[in-house]
Structure 1
Amino acid sequence: MSDRYLGGEPLAEVVRSGFVESRHSGSIVVLDADGEVTAWAGDVLGPVFPRSSNKPMQAVGMLAAGLVAAPAELAIISASHRGQPVHLDAVRGVLGPLPATALGCPPDYPLSEDARDDLVRAGASRQPLFMNCSGKHAGMLRTCAANGWPLAGYLDPAHPVQVAIRHGVESLAGEPAAAVGVDGCGAPLLAVSLRGLAAAFLRLVSAAPGAAERRVADAMRAHPDLVSGTDADGHDTHLMRAFPGLLSKVGAEGIMAVAVPGVGAVALKIDDGSARPRLPVLGAGLSRLGFSLGKYADMPVLGGGSRVGSVRAVW
């Protein structure tokens, strides 16, 4: 494995009014149901920071460390939620008696514009609870409480909860973390390859019922509304609603990972960090496995509120 991400190949282009407005390069790997690489482009062995696509693996690490959680709780722990009321209630449920002041993620407003506007009109200020990673942090705190570990310092990579999470991520990816960074929410961020990320998602959906990996995958698929949200940008929610059995988790900086049991898995990264090409490129990857995203692979380009073009895969 190379010691850094080397960049990728042309994957998508933005077409507006018949003209190519911009192009996006990146990397993508496609695994079949047996975990074999069937197609790829760019650098799929150099490590990347999968950002929030790591969350399902982090949840598995928490379960292995003794976290006891219901399916809806596992879904919000694995989520990049939009801060809608149902999401905030779910995070509070994970915290239980633990104080919201213990959350180590930064204060923020919800990603959902409607939820944000409602809170602003009500006079609410930014809070860690509203931040899209608060579910994951609540899960970390609850895991600490279950083990008698200190809540203070739970974001230190050497803290027992982070050691357990690292073991979970590395076991699922089938490779050691190449680097440890700090995610936008302040939690340790582990770098793995796109190949390892795709393999991890395939293991999540292929594990035996009742296994920690399968429990996380089943929870996310049973409660897709908690994983992202019901507004237009909630891609994970919309995909898992539309395709029962599909597991999806996006990450910042153009990352996305998807697995379909009995079909395979895809992991991708857009080099410039853009989110807009992810679905068309994902559609191109899944098509190699005979799986069609249909309308969800079509990303329109708007002008004046009307469709004037599209983002299309060129891989």
Structure 2
Amino acid sequence: MYSSSVADAPLVREPLHAPVAHLVRGGVVEGVHHGSVVVLGADGQVTFQLGDIEAAFYPRSALKPVQAVAMVRAGLPLDGELLSLAAASHSGEERHLAGTRRILESAGLTEDHLRNTPDMPYGPAFRDAWVREGRAPSRLAQNCSGKHAAMLYTCKLNGWSLDDYLDPAHPLQQAIAEIVEDLTGQRVAAVTVDGCGAPLFSVSLHGLARAAARITTAAAGTPEARVADAMRDHAEMASGAGRDVAALMRAVPGLLAKDGFEGVQVAALPDGRAIAVKIADGANRARIPVAAAALALAGVEPSTLAEFAGEPLLGGGLPVGSVRPVRALDPVPVTS
């Protein structure tokens, strides 16, 4: 279905984003969210696009399933909830912290080996409880700790150095970069540092959607299928209780979905249909409504997606509007 050839890196330029969502209050458009959207058919072809799907951008945590595939290809033996945690942007619940400890213990390591940025839990309720208890920022509580624990485990298994595992020149990060290029089908355009301290690889929105599709269409038992199965079967281990991305995977059978900071969302179905969304201003409130509209364009039954239409905008405590995808996100195929 998909070619294994790798194309040139996407151009680094100011993306030509387009309006993708309106903030409507009392029937008046109060705000406009710009961004880009791509929808792929089961054959891998673009069936819808809006904005700039080919410019280089940073997928942020939406790239974690690809990073997890790279680690499994490098020998990471995790499955189930712990492999889901390896691809997680978790909320900092006790199960996430305990799971990260289990990964570290499997490698004979401790929290002291982690090199991610210390932080409070990402989930508001868990962050509030952390603060009430007077606890300091922690590497274990930071939302990428599962990924970092898995990175350390992968290094330990391969005999790679541990202290510098976040160096882009490290064998682990070189292996991840290779798989990013393999699954996205394009060279990496740029490398920087993500919020957690790990290398972050720039690809295109089109490439991100292609990578998700390649993961969900891979044969059973492959590293790609193991990651997809783990995340779908343990959606809240990859996110947290009450998180929209977990709810989306539960609502749409077989869907693999991952969010990322700065308004990024990717999702793919088992037959290879996939979507990717980037909200230009990073607004989280527009991410899921636009992603749901894109999934409807991909053929998901709209009634299944009704709960993801966006939270109501309140005025005086009463609903007076909402964030709505633009009319261009109607199910009309690309014409050339």
Q: TM-score range by the shorter chain?
A: over 0.9
> Which consecutive aligned stretches of 4+ in structure 1 deviate over 2 angstroms post-superposition?
1-5, 117-123, 302-308
Residues 238-291 of structure 1, C-alpha deviation per residue, up to 9 Å, x if partnerless? 111222211110111111101112261001111111111111211221222221
Deviation at 1:150, TM superposition (A): 1.1
Deviation at 1:297, TM superposition (A): 2.5
| Distance across 1 between alignment mates of 2:281 and 2:127 | 27
Partner of 2:261: 252
5+ residue gaps in structure 2? 1-9, 329-336
The 1:160/1:305 distance shift into structure 2, 3 A limit, reads farther
The 1:95/1:210 distance shift into structure 2, 3 A limit, reads same
Does 1:312 pair with 2:324?
yes
Residues 80-120 of structure 1, C-alpha deviation per residue, up to 9 Å, x if partnerless? 00001111111111111311011111111101122122222
Correspondent of 1:289 among 281, 286, 298 = 298
Kept after mapping to 1: 8 A contact 2:92/2:141: yes
Decide which moves more: 179-188 or 298-307: 298-307
Kept after mapping to 1: 8 A contact 2:184/2:208: yes
Q: Which amino acid aligns with 2:125?
A: D
The 1:156/1:85 distance shift into structure 2, 3 A limit, reads same
Partner of 1:164: 175
5+ residue gaps in structure 1? none
Does 1:130 pair with 2:137?
no
The 1:263/1:161 distance shift into structure 2, 3 A limit, reads closer
Partner of 2:331: none
| Distance across 1 between alignment mates of 2:114 and 2:317 | 39
The 1:263/1:288 distance shift into structure 2, 3 A limit, reads farther
Name the Cα RMSD after superposition.
1.3
Q: Which amino acid aligns with 1:132?
A: N
Partner of 2:71: 62
| Distance across 2 between alignment mates of 1:25 and 1:83 | 31
The 1:57/1:5 distance shift into structure 2, 3 A limit, reads farther
Does 1:24 pair with 2:33?
yes
| Distance across 2 between alignment mates of 1:114 and 1:275 | 18
Correspondent of 2:229 among 210, 218, 236 = 218
Does 1:185 pair with 2:199?
no
Deviation at 1:305, TM superposition (A): 4.0
Matches within 5 A, 1:89-168: 89-96=98-105, 97-168=108-179
Residues 35-61 of structure 1, C-alpha deviation per residue, up to 9 Å, x if partnerless? 110010111111110000000000011
| Distance across 2 between alignment mates of 1:246 and 1:146 | 31
Does 1:300 pair with 2:309?
no
